[in-house]
């Protein structure tokens, strides 16, 4: 459920008309519903209320400070993959002891910043990383709490670019190699082994892959306990999918029941890292039609948002529903919804039935809250759009639209370019 609804013929976000926001902030813009974010997080939390757990929002899915603050106010933690995301999480008020640091390429500087912030733990992905973390912790006089990220070689049914738990992927350590890594971790003086971690992919619409991975982690847990290691945390990652088109992902309650049945009686705290399932359907991208044109082959609707604003269709050939901000009596036509970027891949919908939009009409690109703005760029020297949040009858800009001066901030023309040739 989300709070983007039609009242008569106008699309509303909660109690604010989307068209009225467009009149005041311009287009394109991302629009988030506070009530939807809050509800999705609450539903997820309630599903696991009978199990010791920590919900760490996947910051990479949407790092906006306002979004993170909403989740922090509900007791959420953060799953981060960079020092920049650490900075954001702390600025948003997420306590350090609810932050876990994932990612295959952490630098010593990033490790140091996280250690000084006293985060809950690192999800370590290689022996080399483990040794660098031990040395970094020694240098600053800290102990690093860790989980080893396991690659369970489980194949989820999702886009190959967002599969992370196959043996051929760069993530984690194979189960059969992990005991040696845990033995190394146990021997290092500045490392404290606290958990096991695993994340198999994103936009998963079936439960079985999660359970397959969890069963492998349970077997590993028994071996680690036999080694005398006290494992306090089991991190099952994120990845639960949402409905973009006709997907039927499991409800968080169904997901939680399956995990609880598989875990059985346990004193271990489960760490969950949802992202898309919290924020995906809580945000939309609003854009304006610039032109329409027809050729002998196609009808095109050209809007002022581009692939630099929302790259998922170009990158993953992903589906986003297209809805009018104001419903009219216009007939449905087959068309491509495209942007102004100089790439054929600059599209939001191809060969799709949609209203017969005309210049000036507003279009809502749905389910854009996750990996929308967070993957936006300045390609074609296009300023990134503004972000807006609605709560009830109020709305606020939560990120200002970039300016042309922002585009060249930090760029320097060196003096030698203007020098005469020798």
Active site residues: 342
How far is Cα 269 from Cα 53, in angstroms, rounded to an integer?
A: 5
Measured distance CA(390)–CA(394) in Å, rounded: 6
Between CA 383 and CA 366 the distance in angstroms is 21
User: Would you say 108 and 134 are in contact if contact means Cβ atoms under 8 Å apart?
Assistant: no
- Residue 274 and residue 294 in contact, taking contact as beta carbons nearer than 8 Å: no
At 338, give phi and psi (nearest 5°).
Answer: -130, 165
Q: Does the CA dihedral 167-243-364-19 come out positive or negative?
A: negative
DSSP E strand boundaries for 83-133: 99-101, 121-124
Contact 38, 70 (CB under 8 A): yes
- 164 by Cβ neighbours in 10 Å (0-12 / 13-18 / 19+) ranks as buried
If we measure between CA atoms, which residue out of 43, 41, 46 comes closest to residue 62? 41
C-alpha to C-alpha distance for 184 and 165, rounded to whole angstroms = 23
Question: Are the CB atoms for 191 and 184 separated by under 8 Å?
Answer: no
Q: Answer yes or no: are the C-beta atoms of 336 and 301 closer than 8 Å.
A: yes
**259 closest CA partner among 201, 218, 203, 223:** 218
Q: Where are the alpha helices (DSSP H) in 127-231?
A: 127-140, 175-187, 208-226
Helix (H), strand (E) at residue 7: strand 4-7
Task: Decide if 372 contacts 312 (C-beta within 8 A).
Answer: yes
Question: Cis link prior to 302 (omega < 30° from 0)?
Answer: no
Q: If DSSP codes are grouped into helix, strand and coil, which group holds residue 17?
A: strand
Strand order in the sheet with 4-7: 4-7, 10-13, 16-17
CA 310 – CA 314 distance, rounded (Å): 8
Burial class (CB in 10 A: 0-12, 13-18, 19+), 26: middle
């Amino acid at each position: 459920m989300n709070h983007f609804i039609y009242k008569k013929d106008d699309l509303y976000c909660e109690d604010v008309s989307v068209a009225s926001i467009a009149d005041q902030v311009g287009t394109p813009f991302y629009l988030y519903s506070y009530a939807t974010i809050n509800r999705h997080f609450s539903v997820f939390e309630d599903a696991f209320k009978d199990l010791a757990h920590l919900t760490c929002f996947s910051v990479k899915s949407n790092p906006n400070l306002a979004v993170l603050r909403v989740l922090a106010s509900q007791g959420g933690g953060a799953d981060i993959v960079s020092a920049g995301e650490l900075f954001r999480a702390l600025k948003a008020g997420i306590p350090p002891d609810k932050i876990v640091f994932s990612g295959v390429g952490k630098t010593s500087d990033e490790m140091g910043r996280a250690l000084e912030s006293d985060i809950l733990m690192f999800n370590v992905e290689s022996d080399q990383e483990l040794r660098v973390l031990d040395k970094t912790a020694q240098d600053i006089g800290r102990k690093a709490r860790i989980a080893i990220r396991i690659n369970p070689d489980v194949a989820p049914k999702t886009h190959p670019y967002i599969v992370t738990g196959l043996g051929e992927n760069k993530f984690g350590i194979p189960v059969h190699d992990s005991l040696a890594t845990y033995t190394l971790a146990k021997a290092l003086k500045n490392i404290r082994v606290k958990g096991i971690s695993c994340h198999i992919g994103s936009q998963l619409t079936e439960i079985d892959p999660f359970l397959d991975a969890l069963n492998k982690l349970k077997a590993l847990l028994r071996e680690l306990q036999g080694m005398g290691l006290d494992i306090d945390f089991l991190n099952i990652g994120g990845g639960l999918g949402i409905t973009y088109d006709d997907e039927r992902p499991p409800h968080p309650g169904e997901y939680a029941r399956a995990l609880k049945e598989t875990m059985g009686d346990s004193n271990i705290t489960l760490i969950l890292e949802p992202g898309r399932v919290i924020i995906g359907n809580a945000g939309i991208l609003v854009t304006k039609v610039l032109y329409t044109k027809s050729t002998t082959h196609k009808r095109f609707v050209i809007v002022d948002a581009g692939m630099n604003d929302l790259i998922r269709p170009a990158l993953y050939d992903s589906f986003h529903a297209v809805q009018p901000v104001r419903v009219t009596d216009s007939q449905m036509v087959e068309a491509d919804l495209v942007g102004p970027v100089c790439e054929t891949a600059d599209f939001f919908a191809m060969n799709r039935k949609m209203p017969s939009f005309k210049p000036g009409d507003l279009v809502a690109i749905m389910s854009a809250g996750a990996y929308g703005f967070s993957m936006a760029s300045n390609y074609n020297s296009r300023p990134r759009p503004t972000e807006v949040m609605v709560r009830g009858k109020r709305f606020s800009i939560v990120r200002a639209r970039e300016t042309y001066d922002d585009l060249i901030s930090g760029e320097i023309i060196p003096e030698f370019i203007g020098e005469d040739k020798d």
